[in-house]
Chain A
Amino acid sequence: MIHFVLKRLASLVLTLLVATGVIFIMIEVVPGDPAAYMMGLSNNAEAADALRSQMGLDAPAWDRYKSWVSGMIAGDFGISYTYRIPVSELVGDRMMVSVPLTIYALILSTIIAIPVGVIAASKRGSIVDTGLMGFAQIGVAIPNFWFAILLVLLFSTSLQWFSAGGFPGWDAGIVECLKALTLPAISLALPQAAILSRVMRTSMLDVMNEDYIRTARAKGLTKRQALIRHGLRNAMIPVLTILGLQFSFLLAGGIIIESIFSLPGLGRLVFQSIAQRDLIVVKSIVTLLVFAVVMITFIVDMAYAVVDPRLREGNSK
């Protein structure tokens, strides 16, 4: 197991190094001089040069890369060109919204998808199966922003259970915050749950045909017991992969939902920073997202190992 973890960690560090390199080079070749942008209309070459050297932009690329990476390791992501506050503070505030929202959405989608998938699989071909999978099909097809608007119309405008948007900040208390995040989380969770339940159903059907389920039935377990005790854990393996991908996607992919509910999330920040050529923020967020994706992959790999003992020894048989 230790061998397995160390191997994964090594590849994680390597991936991050390569990723920072690629991000750095891409930002370098993107046209647009941040100093010129910050100078605005007063196009004074001398002042721009001074600003450039003040921001360290005139140093050789290799030195700038080194100081950028070492800064990030120390927690210093630089200062936003447009907001004039440390990037770490800016991103940190947004993360406090985006990460809980993502986790909330994923929990919702898992809670819905796994039972739906299992029930549909165990009643394969019945009306229940057809009905559930029909809903899943609709769930995949519905654009989540449209669904979000429906939710707002129903729960905010008519029933007035939830506010239609905005985020009170964590100081306002957990209940208030969760309340503000509920509708966005449901809108994000719906399509994910639909996909996940289809994966769960297929995976469960595959597992049901496995010989060890027959062995379990021959022991005297009922169909349901055999599925739950022997099928579920085996069927979770492909589902974990999808969950990992969904987390990475939701973290910054919720921009439309964030806009509808006016949430100060990561997605909106990326969008604004790109529009304003705030390259240092873009660079930091992209790096952060890469880090998140790599970490999630790492966690999913660890979860595989917990589920499947064959992986713990590091052989891929």
Chain B
Amino acid sequence: MSLLDIQNLNLSIHDKQILYNVNLQVEPGQVVAVVGESGSGKSMTASAVMQLMPDAAAIEGNIWLDNDDLTVKTENEMCVIRANDIGMIFQEPMTALNPVQTIGAQVIEAVRITHKDLNKSQAIEKAEIVLHRVGLPQERFPLATYPHKLSGGQRQRVVIAIALCQNPKLLIADEPTTALDVTTQAKILKLLKKLVAQDNMGLLLISHDLGVVGEVADHIVIMRNGRVIEQGSRHSFFNNMKEEYSKELVAASQQELKVQKETQEEEIILEVRNLNKEYKLTRKGFFSKGEILQAVNDVSFSIKRGENLGLVGESGCGKSTLTRCILGVDDFESGEILINGEVFNGQKELRKNINVVFQDPYGSFNPRHTVERLVSEPFYLLDKKPTAKESKDQVIEMLMLVGLSKTDIDKYPHEFSGGQRQRIAIARALITNPSVILLDEATSALDVLIRGQILELLEELSKKLGISYLFISHDLATVKNITDRIMVMKDGIIVEQGHTADIYKNPTHPYTKTLLEASPDITRVIENL
């Protein structure tokens, strides 16, 4: 019998069925990837294994862990099983650790729950060993470190250490790398794969992105609307996909290079000249001088009408600061920003030519405003405000343009899905008829299929309206099929820029190469089967 054997699992919350007859198995030492869009039931399956479902959840079927049925365990028995047999890693490393306790305290606590026979110093020793195993050696990351001192990737390592120190048989990782940069993602996945092999654990790896898990999974399970629709070993899955949906997922992850468009336009609509932006860091002592962080270092570039430019770099590289400077939100030390050839100092007349779409389709709308109010908001930038009737007509026109319907005008943001909200955000960005739209990780939070649709929409709008985009992303792959040119940014400096195809085929800067290697690539997975 398998290590984990989920049999005919049905789960409903308040009479709403979430899971239908889910069957899946995990063997010791095996990595099983469960892939699906949001709402597919993949996370609920993981919660069911942990028996940490919402209170109202009703469950049918069996979940066998080592011939023990978890569905009939009492809460106290489950606590023992969670402490000894199952470890779990979560999506959001920034909030998964208690901010008021040291990382040592949190790992040691986990050690002592499982290994009750260890005394204090033995528990400390064990915690140190485990932290070392996940790549946090004591010399650099003492036990007394607080979580806020660590980066996202390092915090995720602490969470892995907490799970690992209990010597679990089964590890569940729910989107463990979704919130991380691509290079960090690659490292964390590699670490997980290594640990599973060393300790002969089973790993249930949950993700929305086939490209990300394709490389590490032994077995792939595709879920949709609460059902497992297809599963198989990695080899057989990629070779004999039967379901249309699986094929769509693979196709959406396979990003083709954009066909180079012959730009006749020479008109420069946005230009940044020698931009410098500094941040003063917190002073270490009362009298010591504050250090200065050069967030944006002598950056220059320009975008022509209708051209799509990508700005790629990891978190902390200065890309968001640069975006804020361009939008006139942040001041900068020196340099110039020119919109349509005029120096931009926050004038409304110029600002209306440039708009932005942010990453989070849930957080970037006021939940108490109607779509009409949200979309018409940028009208404040216009000297001549449209009348109520004109405003409404224009909002409807924009909604139709982005593929929504005119009846959506009176709805509120919560009535829309993530993809639809991103369409509303695009409509809002389009309403002042801008020449450039900044897209700050605008597709990162979306499911792969939705991401494809949004990119298609953007491409279409660009052709129809002749607008340019500045795509800002941490992942080279997401901008591959939409940009004409790419800039790679590191530590505030543009280290490489050129045509997208050239960057992909012949990256010159070592950092660009690192980014390319770390970028999940399903084509590579299929080639190396």
Which residues does A use to contact B, with CB under 8 Å? Answer: 2-3, 6-7, 210-212, 214-223, 229-230, 233-234, 307-310, 313-315, 317
Contact = CB atoms under 8 A, between A and B. Distances in A.
Nearest to B172: A218
Given A220-B83, A220-B114, A6 B286 contact: yes
Contacts of B474: none
B79 A215 contact: no
Contact of B99 (A218, A223, A310, A315): A310
A219 B113 contact: yes
B92 interface: yes
Nearest to B51: A217
B92 A3 contact: no
Interface stretch (B7-15, B159-167, B201-209): B159-167
Interface string B96-118: 11111110001001100110000
B286 A222 contact: no
B148 interface: yes
Nearest to B85: A220
Nearest to A220: B83
B98 A230 contact: yes
Given A214-B90, A220-B113, A222-B75, A230 B146 contact: no
Nearest to A312: B146
A215 B52 CA distance: 11
List of 5 A-B pairs having minimum Cβ-Cβ separation, nearest first: A220-B83, A218-B88, A211-B95, A220-B82, A212-B98
Nearest to A236: B100
Given A212-B98, A214-B90, A215-B97, A221 B286 contact: no
B95 A212 contact: yes
A221 B282 contact: no
B166 A220 contact: yes
Nearest to A223: B75
10 contacts: A212-B99, A215-B88, A215-B90, A215-B106, A217-B82, A220-B81, A220-B114, A221-B113, A230-B98, A307-B100
Given A234-B100, A315-B282, A222 B79 contact: yes
Contacts of A308: 99-100
B285 interface: yes
Contacts of A219: 82-83, 109-110, 113, 162, 166
Contacts of B146: 309-310
A219 B162 CA distance: 7
A218 B89 CA distance: 9
Contacts of B92: 211
Contacts of B114: 220
Interface string B269-296: 0000000000000111110000000000
A309 B148 contact: yes
Contacts of B88: 215, 218
A3 B113 CA distance: 37
Nearest to A313: B282
A2 to B, nearest CB: 7
A219 B95 CA distance: 16
Contact of A309 (B76, B95, B99): B99
Contacts of B285: 3
B297 interface: no
Nearest to A6: B286
Contacts of B75: 222-223
Interface in B150-169: 159, 162-163, 166
B117 to A, nearest CB: 16
Contact of B286 (A2, A212, A215, A229): A2
A210 B286 CA distance: 34
Central interface residue in A223, A230, A307, A315, by most chain B CB within 10 Å: A230
A216 B98 contact: yes
A216 B109 CA distance: 9
Nearest to B92: A211
Interface in B42-98: 50, 52, 75-76, 79-84, 86-88, 90, 92, 95-98
